Structure 1
């Protein structure tokens, strides 16, 4: 399973942090901590045990910046 976050679309609303706190976090400036990456799209392999939280994070993202691939 793979999660993808389009960092150009993301506007740091933080709903993903509440839905999947083990995967997403906001930094001290209130920005998605993945913003420290130098690419525009963040991709990560995720174990199946996190599927429910990841799908919830993708669903609650107001800008639909999160995509989960099986």
Structure 2
């Protein structure tokens, strides 16, 4: 499973890295540091990844079964 963070949609609310502290972190401006990236969800952290996606009010985070060319 992969977690993808759309940099254009991210507004820096910080809910994602609060919900998934073992996967995500913040940068100096308060945005998720992994903004614009697609990350493989580590074993045991799928629930945190789902929580991060659910917590984002902009819908900037999505979960995918595979990485595709549009990621």
> TM-score, normalized by length of structure 2?
0.80
Alignment correspondent of 2:37: 42
- Kindly indicate whether structure 1 or structure 2 has the higher relative contact order, using CA contacts under 8 Å at least 6 residues apart: 1
**What secondary structure sits across from 1:27 in the alignment?**
coil
Gaps of 5+ in 2: 66-71
RMSD: 1.4
In the TM superposition, structure 1's runs of 4+ consecutive aligned residues that sit over 2 Å from their partners are none
- Number of residue-to-residue matches in the alignment: 65
Alignment correspondent of 1:5: 5
Alignment partners' CA distance in 2, 1:55 and 1:68: 7
> TM-score, normalized by length of structure 1?
0.81
User: Which structure carries more strand by proportion?
Assistant: 1
